[in-house]
Amino acid sequence: MYELGVVYRNIRRADSDLALKLGAFGSATVHEALGRVGLFKPYLRPIYPGAQVSGSAVTVLLQPGDNWMLHVAAEEIRDGDIVVAAVTADCTDGYFGDLLATSFKARGARAFVIDAGVRDVKTVTGMRFPVWSRAISCKGTVKATLGSVNIPVVCAGAYVTPGDVIVADDDGLVCVPRAMAAATLEAAGKRAANESEKRAKLASGVLGLDMYKMREPLAAAGLRYIE
């Protein structure tokens, strides 16, 4: 449930080093490491391919067609933050363009995530400021109604508390609760450990069936081969 018209200034951020290291594993590995939860719905897409970032969430709750609170949020950004914006109703308007991108970047933001639309994508792409959104729209917004900054929000189906770690790349986004960042990083490390070895084996033609020892459980499950 949302509290409207408030800005929480002193949020506890995730450890900056943990946040960075989680990002290096990418969203897919982190999602597994976290126990397959914390997913943003896959309709959020990056405005350009190739970005891979992570950081502490500064959250924003917006009203439909109104981006006033993004300006309020700018002041709350610290180095390494990712701004995560939810809207109280489905909306595809372009809440965020090159001026806000310039401001967010200057304040130290690493990325912007919004469950709505953005615009000026050519310019923002040229700035290499990473953005994930549900739509791209030239339709702008007004500045008339209060929302909130740094309250827990639901963004694209993910529940995000300020200070949680956001991991984002071409595959999508995951929210890692601050308290679980260290354990998740360890689990991610274990998952990734033998990946290059596995990749080499598979590249040489070894089958996953043998490498993962799947033949027995498949047979036990009743798989029949018909020659």
What is residue 120's DSSP assignment?
-
Alpha-carbon span 183 to 15, nearest angstrom? 13
Kind plus residue range of the DSSP H or E element containing 133: strand 131-136
CA dihedral sign, ordered 61, 106, 109, 128: positive
Among 82, 162, 172, 187, binds its own copies (CB under 8 A): 172
Measured from the CB atom, the residue of 17 and 194 that comes closer to its own copies is 194
According to the binding rule CB under 8 A, does residue 204 interact with its own copies? yes
Measured from the CB atom, the residue of 20 and 214 that comes closer to its own copies is 214
Cα 32 to Cα 49, 124, 191: the distances in Å are 22, 31, 8
Alpha-carbon span 45 to 145, nearest angstrom? 27
According to the binding rule CB under 8 A, does residue 39 interact with its own copies? yes
The 113-132 site mask, x for binding its own copies (CB under 8 A), equals ----x-xxxx--x-------
Residue position matching structure tokens 């469950």: 115
Among 15, 16, 20, 52, binds its own copies (CB under 8 A): 52
Closest contact distance (angstroms) between CB of 15 and its own copies is 17
CA dihedral sign, ordered 52, 54, 58, 62: positive
Alpha-carbon span 193 to 68, nearest angstrom? 45
Measured from the CB atom, the residue of 17 and 210 that comes closer to its own copies is 210
Among 15, 16, 159, 182, binds its own copies (CB under 8 A): 159
According to the binding rule CB under 8 A, does residue 193 interact with its own copies? no
Q: Which two tokens stand for residue 209?
A: 């069936």
Closest contact distance (angstroms) between CB of 118 and its own copies is 9
According to the binding rule CB under 8 A, does residue 100 interact with its own copies? yes
User: Which residues 208-227 are close enough to bind its own copies by CB under 8 A?
Assistant: 208-209, 212, 214, 218, 221-227
According to the binding rule CB under 8 A, does residue 18 interact with its own copies? no
Output the furthest CA–CA distance in the chain (Å, rounded).
Answer: 69
